[in-house]
Amino acid sequence: MKNNRFVYFVLLPIFLLLAVFFVLPIAGGLAISFFDYNPLRAINHFIGFENFGKLMSDKIFLKSTTNTLVFVGITVTLNIFITLVLAQLISMLPWPKFRSFFRVIFFMPCVAPLIASSVVWGGLYATKYGLINNMLKTFFGISPVNWLGTASYVMPAIIIFTLWADIGYNIILFSAGMDGIPTDFYEAAEIDGAGMVKKFFYITLPLLGRTVSFVVAMTIISHFQMFAQFQVLAKLGGPENSGNVLTYYIYKTAFQTKDMGYASAIAVVLFVLIMIVTIIQQRLNRVEWGY
């Protein structure tokens, strides 16, 4: 009993921090979503579920939700595939210094502020003097593309940038997971004549299950919350709202139109969306083994 009291006493500050900085803001946002709330008004009326009812007839909200799901689905899938392959290739290098060198190279974009990287990539995507268009014209003879001014190109351009900016974290995590796999398994597989591909699919990938589950969950959550690149590269949501996602729509509704009640309702929907996707992902990637 005394030990339990000591544990509760030690954990109390953590619970207080969680309550103040996580639980209360979520509860506050949920409460505001039931009001016609504008911080510049003296009186804000309670309107119940009216904000949530408006969402189904809001074409920009529906477009933003679709864009968000497309963005998260494509970037998370490509991110996990690319980082797994790169982490495996790096781990196969025989010299530790080479492995460290490539991990640092891939991690460098993660160190730079996302907003600054977005500004730089906005220049690379420029139609007239952008590096990407110049390279396409020089090597493939392709005419300049208006990457950020054409509805069908905005999302692919942002996805390419996001992959460049974000793969470093997952390469480090997958590399750490691969380094933790006991070498006994690989030695036994080599004796049985297994090649590189078989060792990856029958040893590395199954034994990396917990790391994969964690990385997929964190990548999904972080990509649902991405905002900076949409703010910079898809100005005002992009042409025909092609670059409008839920995070940007929440920002625009809350701080430009000052309709914080409606913005809170959108935020609640985003929160529920992230929670549902994360729960499904955790169920599908449940790992119940150890080594």
Which pLDDT band, with edges at 50, 70 and 90, does 234 fall under?
confident
pLDDT tens, position by position, 74-83: 999 999 999 9
As a whole number of angstroms, the distance between CA 120 and CA 125 comes to 9
> Helix count (H) and strand count (E) of the chain?
15, 0
CB 219 within 8 A of CB 278: no
Output phi, psi for 94, to 5 deg: -75, -20
Answer whether residue 286 shows pLDDT above 80.
Answer: no
pTM for this one?
0.88
As a whole number of angstroms, the distance between CA 246 and CA 155 comes to 14
- Classify 182 in phi/psi space as left (phi over 0), alpha (psi -120 to 50) or beta: beta
pLDDT tens, position by position, 110-154: 888 889 999 999 999 998 888 999 999 888 888 888 999 888 999
Distance of CA 253 to the CA centre of its chain: 22
Distance of CA 8 to the CA centre of its chain: 34
pLDDT score for 163: 94
Which residues, listed in sequence order, are joined to residue 35 by a DSSP beta bridge? 46
**One-letter identity of residue 202:** Y
CB 233 within 8 A of CB 165: no
Q: How far is CA 167 from CA 75, 86, 111, 135, in A?
A: 10, 10, 12, 23
